[in-house]
Amino acid sequence: MKTDTNSGFLAWMTKNHVAANILMLALVIGGLIVISDIKQEVFPEYELDIVNVTVSYPGASPEEVEEGIIVAIEEEIRDLEDVERITAVANEGRASVVVELLSEANPDKTVQEIKNRVDRVTSFPEDAERPSISLKTRRRGVMRLALHGDIEERALFYYAQNIREELLGLSSVTQVEIRGVRNPEISIEIPQSVLRSYGLTLGEVSDIIRTGAVDVPAGGIKAEGGEVLLRTSERRDYASEFAGLALLNRPDGTEVKIGDIAQITDGFADSEREAYYNGQPSVLFFIYRTGEQTPIEISKAVREYMDTLAPTLPEGVNFSIYSDRSDIYKQRLDLLLRNGTFGLILVLMLLGLFMEARLAFWVAMGIPISISGSFLILQYMGGSINMVSLFAFIITIGIIVDDAIVVGENIYYKRESGMPPLQASIEGVREMSSVVTLAVLTNIIAFIPLLYVPGSTGKFFSILPAVVVAVFLISLVECLFVLPAHLTYSYRKNNNRLMHILNKVPHTCERGLAWFIRRCYTPLLNSAVSNRYLTALVFLAVLIVAYAYWDSGRIDFSFRPRIQTDRIDAEVTLPYGAPVEDVRRIAKIIEEGGLRAIKKSGGMKILEGAMTDIGRRGANTAEINFNLVPQKDRDITTREFSIRWRKEVGEIAGQG
C-alpha cells in the first residue's frame, strides 16, 4: 500500500504558509513583548539555605565569646536533622554562627527550630545581648558610591543623609544603605555629686529623657469640620534641644533643666569605623535592586542625579562611583548582540557558498527566532535576563542553526534532484524530522543534569540549562514547522545581477567540495574502513596520550577559574585588641605603596579610585581597594600590578 507523503501535520504546515508565518510571528513578537517585561538583574536571584545566628557581647575577647556563647549554641543545634554544616566565628564583642541547611530542608521551619533551641540556652553571660536569628537573604547590589572630601565628620554625615533621602526619592531607587561612617550620638554627662545633691539617679534621668524626647500620637477630637488628630511633637535631634528638658520642679515653681546641671555634646558612637576615598574621608553608599527594577535603569537614574548634585556640593567635596555592576551587565548584553549579529553573518556567508542566498537567509533566521521565542518559556519558568542567562544564550548561538541546516540542506538536495519545490520541502522535512528531533533531544539531555546540582552553586547556575533547553526546543519547532514553508518558493528568472552572482556561487563551491570528497575524503575513509582495527588503535592511543597529558598536571582544573578583574584588594588583620592607630598606619603604608606602583605602571590615568575601609570586619581590620581602568585602556595586567604593589609595600616594620 502506497503511503501518502502529503498527509500529516508536517506536510500541512509546509503547505500552509499563513499558519507557518503566524507561528513565526507569535514566537518573535511574543518573545519581544516578554523581553520588555522580564526581570533584569546582574546575577540570578535565588534563596540561600543559610541561617545566621549573631550575638553581641560588648567588651568580650574572642576567647570569652567562644566559651560563653558559641559553644553553647553549637551544643544546642548540632543534632538538628536538616543541618548540613555549622561554621562559627568569634570576634571581639560578637559571635557569628552560620548554619547551612540541607537542600531538601524547609528553611522557615528550620529557622524556627533553631530559634527555639537558642532561646532555651540559659548559660549565656549576663552582658550578652539577645541573639538575632534570621534566614540569610541575598541582596542584589547594583552600585557603590563614595561622598568624599576634607570636611568635618558631622558635616559629611549630614550631607550623606540628605543625599540618601534624595536618592530614595528617585522612582528607580528603593534601597540605599550608608556605610563607612560612625552613627551620630548625643552625650549627656552629669557628675555623680550633682545627681546626689538633687536626689536623682542616672536611671531616673534616663527615663525622663526617654519619655520627654519622642513624638507620641494623642488620639483625635471630633469636631464639626471633621476629626482633628492630636500629637505631641517632642522629638530632639541635636544637643542644644535637650538643654531645655525639665528634670525637677521646685516648690517655688522654678524648674531644674538638663542644661543647668549636665554637659551636652554632639558626637559620634564610640566605634573604629572610618573610610577614605582617594585619601579623603568618605561615606559609602550601597544601592540595591528590588522587585522589577533593572540594573541599567537604576544606574541611569543615579548618574543623572549625580550630574545635578555636583554643582551644589561645597568646594572640595565630591560624589564618585567606585563600582557599577550595570556596566558588566551591559557589556555581557552587548557581547550577546555582537555574537548574534556576527553569527548571522557567518551563517549567511557559509551557507551562501553552498546553497541559494534565499535558502541561506531562512536558515540563518533560525537564530533570532529561536532566541526571541525562548523567552516565552523562560517567562513561564520564572527566569530572568542576567549574567548567567546571557552567557547561556551566547553558548547556544553556534548550535541552534544545526538542525535548520540539516533540514534546509536536505530540501535543497531534493530540489536540485528535480523534485517540485513543495514536494521537496515536504519530503525533506519528513525524512529529517526524526534525525533532528533526536539530535536536539540529545543536546537537551546533556544539559539537564545541571538542573539538579545541589547547594547554592546549583541554584546560581540553574538558569543556564533552562535557557539552553528553551532555545533548543524553539529551534526544533522553527526548523520543523516554519522553515519548510519558506523553502517552497519556485525558481524564477531574476534580472538582478547581484542575485545572479550569488546564486552561481553555490555551484562553483559544490564542484570544489565534490573534488575534495572524491580525492581526499573518500580515499581516507576507505583506508580507515579497510583497516578498522588500526584506526581504533590510533584513536585509543590519542585518548591515552591526551589523558596522560592532563593527568601530568600540565592542564589545570578549576571549577571556578580565576578571571582578572579591574579591582585589586588588600586586607589588613592585626591581633585582637590592637589600637586603631596601628590599623590606620599600616593601611596608609599599603595605600601609599599602591600609589607608588600606580605611578610606575602608567601614572594616575590608569586609576579610577582608591578606597580604604577601616573597621568593616572588626576594629582590628582594614581593606584597601584599587579600581583600575578597563584592561583595554592600560598596558599592565591586574596580576602584574598586584605583584608590583606587593613589592612596593615590602616588609612592614613591627609586623612579624
pLDDT in tens, 496-538: 666 666 667 777 888 888 899 899 999 999 999 999 899 999 9
Q: Confidence class of residue 307 from pLDDT cuts 50, 70 and 90?
A: very high
Answer whether 231's CB lies under 8 Å from 217's CB: yes
Average per-residue pLDDT for the chain: 82
| 303, 320 contact by CB (below 8 A) | no
Q: Could you report the per-residue pLDDT of 82-113, keeping only the tens digit for each?
A: 888 888 888 878 888 988 888 777 888 888 88
Helix then strand then coil, % of the chain, to nearest 5: 55, 20, 25
Assigned CATH topology for domain 50-135: Alpha-Beta Plaits (3.30.70)
Residue extents of the structural domains in the chain: 9-16+331-551, 50-135, 140-183+272-328, 185-216+232-268, 567-649
pLDDT at site 637 = 87
Q: Which CATH number fits domain 9-16+331-551: 1.20.1640.10, 3.30.465.10, 3.40.640.10, 3.30.428.10?
A: 1.20.1640.10
Task: State pLDDT tens for residues 242-268.
Answer: 777 777 777 776 777 777 777 877 777
Torsion of CA 9, 15, 19, 23, to 10 degrees: 70
Domain 185-216+232-268 sits in CATH at 3.30.2090.10
User: How far apart (Å, rounded) are the C-alpha atoms in residues 203 and 239?
Assistant: 19
Residue 451 identity:
L
Stretch 535-559: mean pLDDT = 81
Answer for the pair 637, 562: CB distance below 8 angstroms, yes or no. no
Provide the residue count of the chain.
656
Average pLDDT over residues 594-609: 87
> Residue 350 above 60 pLDDT?
yes
Per-residue pLDDT at 2: 46
Please state whether beta strands 246-249 and 50-56 pair in parallel, antiparallel, or not at all (unpaired). unpaired
Evaluate if residue 318 carries a pLDDT over 70: yes
Measured CA distances, 123 to 120, 126, 173 (Å) = 9, 9, 44
Neighbours of 507 (CB within 10 A): 10
**SS3 readout for 231-262:** EEECCCCCHHHHCCCEEEECCCCCEEEHHHHC
CB burial of 113-137 (b: ≥16 within 10 Å; e: otherwise) equals bbbebbeebeebeeebeebebebee
Quick check: 312 pLDDT over 80?
yes
The CATH architecture to which 567-649 belongs is: 2-Layer Sandwich (3.30)
Asked whether the predicted pLDDT for residue 304 surpasses 90, the reply is yes
CATH number of 140-183+272-328: 3.30.70.1320
Would you state the pLDDT for residue 120?
Answer: 87
Q: Kindly state the average pLDDT of the residues 577-597.
A: 88
pLDDT, residue 1, reads 41
Per-residue pLDDT at 656: 46
Handedness of CA 455, 457, 460, 463 (dihedral sign): negative
Residue 6 has pLDDT above 80, yes or no: no
287: pLDDT confidence band, cut at 50, 70 and 90? very high
Share of the chain above pLDDT 70, in %: 89
Predicted TM-score (pTM) of the model is 0.71
Say how far apart CA 319 and CA 283 lie, in whole Å: 10
CA angle (368 as vertex; 336, 14 as ends), nearest 5: 160
pLDDT in tens, 413-457: 888 888 888 898 899 899 999 989 998 999 899 888 888 877 777
Q: What is the mean pLDDT of residues 64-74?
A: 89
- pLDDT tier for residue 214 given thresholds of 50, 70 and 90: low
Contact between residue 145 and residue 284 where contact means Cβ atoms under 8 Å apart: yes
Contact 57/129 with Cβ under 8 angstroms? yes
Residues 6+ apart with CB under 8 A from 289: 41, 42, 140, 141, 142, 175, 295, 298
Confidence label for 561 from pLDDT (cuts 50, 70 and 90): low
Task: Work out the burial of residue 77: count CB atoms within 10 Å of its CB; fewer than 13 is exposed, 13-18 middle, 19 or more buried.
Answer: buried
Percent of the chain surpassing pLDDT 90: 15
Buried-exposed string 237-274: b where 16+ CB fall within 10 A, e elsewhere: eebeebeebebeeeeeeeeeebbebbebeeeeeeebbb
Query: Quick check: do 9-16+331-551 and 185-216+232-268 share a fold?
Result: no
**Of all helices (H) and strands (E), which one includes residue 157?**
helix 153-168
